[in-house]
Structure 1
């Protein structure tokens, strides 16, 4: 069973992000406040769960949470401020959207930009240690996966339904063949080598 709280006696929000290492698509983050003393033996790091289990747990989290919200930062914003700052901004947007104001924040990882004046803690592998961070990881992952599946319908040749925008061989080969889309992060090394990138080519038959 993961731990319920890090800070004692305060309203605590757990935060995590999804999509930081992707070549395409927005980065998503979630913030979750769980009830005091909440228990759920099924909550865990989203990467350790099946897609079906993540989606099942999303409904449970949304039902049981005191408050939850998702924040999004677009590819254009990522290119302007870099992915680290974009991840922090997505978390801040999620925290801004909470219907209950947190008094402290716990974050998966080892870096975070302070949110107003609230106390915070960064916890390496926190999504496998604290329930609220695990819940946030599940929401961020499932909402981003849904978003990438919608983009897949628009650009199926990149297999975003399968790779969710991560740098798989298929994804990079599609970039070489068809060029880039408006959803690609142009500040990234999209090809993984020195080949030039082309704009999205309608003449490629897509």
Structure 2
């Protein structure tokens, strides 16, 4: 797939679930082409979010949007098919939860969707170098996963830069995504550090005018 980069991907974890469809529609009106879905199980991360039903609802609300599913869960292989059926266009899994990472990525690929690998702030990029040729996207967590509204971890800038260097050195084509603490003040620097896709939750959905806020974030990225 070809995408016009950089992309802001609103995370519906921060949306108002009582009016989820309206919040998503407001983001789409502002230009959102990706919808980011954070799935938490209360085991790998200290929070529980939602399951395939909400992902399916998001897809129904924005049928033209690219549905980006981030599995922050143990045993992700058990749930891949359910999220594919719910409408996922991309499923990303954590290095930290996949003892057989290559097999998990192949399991996602067999459904004909895009695959991603995720690393926590304290996880070195060296751990995922063996699979960089097998993924469509690498997600750098710029907060410790589990809750929205956290502050961006400053060392993430260097991690993004190094990942971009690795991609260039090895002539690979994966996208670089960042998730956590992205806002109006740091979005430009995050993109300049190498991020192609910036996940934004609270900074979008906590705004009084979601459409205007999304447009503002997009304008900052140029």
TM-score by length of 2: 0.25
Which protein has greater RCO, CA pairs closer than 8 Å, 6+ apart? 1
Hey, which of these two has a bigger chunk of strand by percent?
2
TM-score by length of 1: 0.26
Q: Which has the larger radius of gyration?
A: 1
